[in-house]
Chains A and B, each alone.
Chain A
Amino acid sequence: MVGSPVLLIAIPLLAAFLIPLIGMIWKESVRLIPGLVLAFMLVSSASMLLYVTNNSTIIETIAGWQAPWGINLVFSPLTGFLATLMIFLGFIVWLFSYRFKRNVDFEPAKKYFIFLMMLVAGAVGIVITGDIFNQFVFIEITSISAYALTAFYTGRNSAEASFKYLLMGSLSSSALLIAIAIIYSQLGTLNMADIADKMYLMPTGYKITALIFFFMGIGIEAEIFPLNGWAPDAYTEAPGPIGAAFAGIVVKAGVYAMIRLVFTLFDIPNSMQFLVVIGLVTLIVAETSAIKQDKLKRMLAYSSIGQMGLVFVAFGIGTAEGVFAALFLMLNHAIIKPLLFLSGSYLVFNSKEKKISEVNGLGKHMPITSLLFALGAFAIVGLPPFSGFWSKLSVLTAAANEGMILIIALVLIVSVVEIVYYFRVVNRIYFFEKSDNVVVQKPRINAMIAMLILGSIILVIGFDPDIVSIYLHKASHDLMNTREYIDNVLSIGQSLTK
């Protein structure tokens, strides 16, 4: 075990502040430091994940304040898994964006990596914190860096997208604050475990109202249906790797917050059905919208939203199997969608419009990138033997075991739609003629490595899903077992007070 949970948040934040300072001395450090930091975090987080998989959950109290009163960090199989995943993606994004486009210049790179660090720190914080207000703070950190990164290209469109994101984000913050205020006023505590422990004390009306405000606040981050208007624009206008980071990091953090609320904090049984319904609606609306898009990244954005809908459906099944499937889906989506964004951003590298029609015939000119995009497309629509298949299968099995046949049918029908739009793009890449005014940009070596890592993960999980299934099982067990979570967190406090 290397490091501790608090370092996972502190180091990137620290790095974010240090980058400009050290950058004054040695410009290249602006790019190198984040990589080193993320690499360290990855090692640390992975070793902790190994530890918690085999031993008990790591719970760290900040500044000696014990559990119900102070802020504590919970590095459980679930949170550890998600944190590791996010850090890994952060690393991939760093590797990819090292000297990507305008980041070559000093000033933008500084901003870029500062915000990337903050984004990772915030997202990891959302996942591993055990305090609901602390989580709100981290959500804000993540959101603010996300707004900034959306507007990174400083064009008219980027600014507009960023502004939309900001608008929605502020709605989200207000809703969250209201929800937290309701809970605090009723229960007088902000510690998640404590809230969960005392939830039965809360009057139903308050409980439901708080939950609804949470739904709205976190739903905006987690891209559920009527609240995800910002997403397509933000994904489209942000730099390619940032799109990957959104899909792989920000949204995952939002989903985590949502399921932690629904599974652990609140004990409202109907919320599961709500998740299923809202997930299905999100899935259907997003996938059907994706089919008519003419911009590549926008299409990927809708697809991303749709996948999140599917994740919610899987969580909404409510069984350990469902949770397992949902986590598996999150893992796969966090691998595949970044791959699509990264390779996609090279496919439309020099294009202004980022039109799908501009990828015509690139298969001959950039074979590996195209191949990786195709691999991603094959994987995300769930074709065996790639990783996406196993998660889709898990979702369907879990749903079938609960007798949700109609849901299976809907999910599968939507999958057909998904196939159509992904294959249209793949067909264009390989079987159309390249138009002359498209300038091909060969990917840099670091970007290539980043994509190849993701691609090989897809293949490895595809051929042997059992490599990850043990962590996923642990994580789903962790999420399902609310009592254990409460006891774990609170017992630390009690043992210290005694």
Chain B
Amino acid sequence: MELILNILGAIATIVLAFTVGMSYGGIVRKITARVHNRMGPPWYQNFIDAFKLAGKTTAINHGIMQHFGPAFIMVSSIVSLMIVPVLNGGGWFENLNFGGDLIFLLYIMVFGPLGMALGAGQTGNPNSAIGITRGLSQMVGFEIPWVMALVALMVQFDTTSIVDIMRIQNESGTWMMFSSPFAFIAAVMAMLGMFRYSPFDIVGAPTELASGPVSENGGKYLLTMMSSGSIFAFVKLTLYVDLFMGGADNLIILVLKTFALYMIPVLYGIVSPRYRTEQSIRFFWGWPTFFGLLAILYAVFV
């Protein structure tokens, strides 16, 4: 019985994440359009796209890994969703986040890119492989400040559990973004790379690489990747909210907080051109890493 409830809870979480993530995607398109002084598509455009993709035939494949690649990505996003606490105090959305260990999360989060890389690799499209190498390189770039920020948090509170960090924030009443500002800055700068909006959209790079890793994937593959991306966006935003903004007591607050946070990469991206890969990597090893170092020093000495 408990197991069934757990599974239902998990499904509810997934549906929530999917909905929120997809809506955010549409809203971002809308906002981008407004910034460009356009009308833009409706906010639910992504749902339409998803539904359409589900209805497209998938007549060809390039081998088994092309099937498995998107599945790997889904594993990554859904399992990380299971780990990250959605709300303070759990409830329906308390899935596998017993302790919600950060290091496990870090690793399961990179599972997806690697799986996607395998799927993209088998298609044999050179653009896919180029996109993958760019993506992995960029990941090495932004993981450094991101991990530094996380280490700073772990050090500060002697825990690697997200739930603990949330609890501590609630007990002390201050959000982490104020009590350890440098970690927040480093993490947010890393977030720019994580969301792959301009100027860090070097992986997809539509005009350059013909959408990169997904260039051979249409229909269901694209749908899976899209939904995975939406869920993953939700996971990342929720994680940031949990870590730096004290989590959320109910869904509305969660949506508000995540949305506010989401605007940072989106708005930064709208007005930016694209970096070259090595520029992007060097960007992350510049100021963000410096802030990360500051964060660690701050955590150790303050």
Direct contact between A and B judged by beta carbons closer than 8 A: no
Residues of B within 8 A of A (CB): none
